[in-house]
Amino acid sequence: AAGVIQSPRHLIKEKRETATLKCYPIPRHDTVYWYQQGPGQDPQFLISFYEKMQSDKGSIPDRFSAQQFSDYHSELNMSSLELGDSALYFCASPYGGVEGDGYTFGSGTRLTVV
């Protein structure tokens, strides 16, 4: 079965550079959630989209922005990168059609800021 695809799997950037992370949800799924997981930390909700509109916002820095496109893929843009942005970034795609049915996570993008 098709899963959630994230690219790239690994990314190394220098401080103050910009990074773009991509997420391709399960086909025909119109909702995407982004999470950030720092080293040894639990995942923290960043932002979500439904039908190409932002639906919720969490602890996302102002340096970060995201959008969802017409094909429902989403991109997380991160500018002025800081060492503390080094983390695993997941996107998730709800499935099941039942409220609170959980969702499928991508394998994540590991961002390292040096």
Compare residues 79 and 86 and give the one whose CB is closer to another protein. 86
- For the bound state, the minimum distance from the C-beta of residue 8 to another protein, rounded and expressed in Å, comes to 14
Q: Which of 17, 25, 24 is nearest to 94 (CA)?
A: 25
Pick the binder of another protein from 7, 20, 86, 107 (CB under 8 A): 107
Binding characters for another protein, 45-84, by CB under 8 A (x = yes) = x--x-------x-x--------------------------
Dump strand ranges (E) for the chain. 5-7, 10-13, 19-24, 31-37, 44-50, 53-57, 64-68, 74-78, 87-94, 103-105, 109-113
Q: Which of 8, 10, 5 is nearest to 113 (CA)?
A: 10
Q: Does 103 bind another protein (CB under 8 A)?
A: yes
Residues in the site for another protein, rule: CB under 8 A?
A: 31, 33, 35, 41-45, 48, 56, 58, 90, 92, 94, 98-108, 110
